[in-house]
Amino acid sequence: MSRFWSDLTHQLKPYVPGEQPKIADLVKLNTNESPTGPSPKAMAAIAAEAADSLRLYPDPEARALRETLARYHGVSPEQVFVGNGSDEVLAHAFAALLKRDAPLLFPDITYSFYPVYCGLFGIAFETVPLDDAMAVRVEDYRRPAGAIILPNPNAPTGVALSRAQIKQLLDEHPDVPVVIDEAYVDFGAESAIPLVAEHPNLLVVQTMSKSRALAGLRVGYAIGDAGLIEGLARVKDSFNSYPLGRPAQAGAIASVEDEAFFQASCAAVIAERGRLTAGLEALGFAVLPSSANFVFARHGARGGAELAAALRERAVIVRHFGAARTTDYLRITVGTDAQTQRLLTALGEILG
């Protein structure tokens, strides 16, 4: 390897995504994918687009999708930015908005992409510890900040702030960009989108990967003041002016238009989360209050790494994070009822 590449690879610590193993009859509860699937209307729209129009370039401004999202969220199309999954939208936000003179603040336990993007874009950051209940305390962000980013609900804890708490954070930081990453908001938390009208420094990022079951299509978006959105668009245009392919634009529009399916899917995940939580508690786990499509749970007597390995031997995959404060925890995606049963049976065997 040349000196140049080895220097670069030492500087950059890439994000390691959840694994996608090929094991027969696997219960895969490690990457917060939907256990069921997308709206049938979205699938039909994707198939129709693929059959008819792949020889044509997509709309580089994704106007129809942005108009659909604007109507849905009660904003104007100039306040909507779309990208290939919210990870790409976040990358543009880091590049365009979050490199400031003072450090970027985010929680010590949070989405592990944030420090990776800081490394990539040369952004100084400081982490703010979660409180004893593993929740974000808005008061702890009263310190010099160049910008702030938080997932709400937080990942991997699932614990959410209320809209009033996000408003307090915005009121206390009126002059720096604040990004709220709402990847999991549809599973019971309050979106900050209604605050955009009064807070031109707020950018809310959402994804179609979780509550809309379209992780494979790669559609994410941001909503904010038209000025912030213009900043993101400038960065995007410097990379690649096509935000999304035609099937992705068509499928995303059809998903947003199928509100009944969306509501039913979210309600099903929330109900299953209740059964999963009760089952884990019956086995002696403490489960953090989750507003997401996963739970973060700890068994007092057995470590997280040991439990994750024993589950894996039984073809059940969950996520374990090694950091000191999270080492006892498992992050478990809410699956189907049958998957919950397989998980609980396996844990029952392991715990004897």
**Residues of this chain that bind ligand PMP (CB under 6 A):** 85-87, 111, 151, 155, 181, 183, 207, 209, 215, 220
CB of 212 vs ligand PMP, minimal distance in Å:
10
CB of 87 vs ligand PMP, minimal distance in Å:
3
Measured CA distances, 144 to 101, 205, 293 (Å): 10, 24, 33
CB of 283 vs ligand PMP, minimal distance in Å:
26
Nearer to ligand PMP, 85 or 243 (CB): 85
Task: Kindly give the residue spans of alpha helices, DSSP state H, lying in the chain.
Answer: 3-11, 40-53, 63-73, 85-97, 113-121, 163-172, 226-239, 246-257, 259-282, 304-313, 337-351
- Indicate the residue whose CB is closest to ligand PMP: 85
Nearer to ligand PMP, 224 or 279 (CB): 224
CB of 146 vs ligand PMP, minimal distance in Å:
21
Nearer to ligand PMP, 87 or 225 (CB): 87
Pairs from 141-146 (Cβ < 8 Å, separation ≥ 24): 141/105, 141/169, 141/172, 141/173, 142/172, 143/105, 144/102, 144/103, 145/102, 145/103, 145/104, 145/105, 145/173, 145/176, 146/98, 146/99, 146/100, 146/101, 146/102, 146/103, 146/104, 146/176
Nearer to ligand PMP, 308 or 346 (CB): 308
Measured CA distances, 208 to 33, 69, 195 (Å): 11, 11, 21
CB of 18 vs ligand PMP, minimal distance in Å:
8
Nearer to ligand PMP, 49 or 181 (CB): 181
Give the SS3 label for residue 66. Answer: helix
Nearer to ligand PMP, 247 or 279 (CB): 247
CB of 156 vs ligand PMP, minimal distance in Å:
8
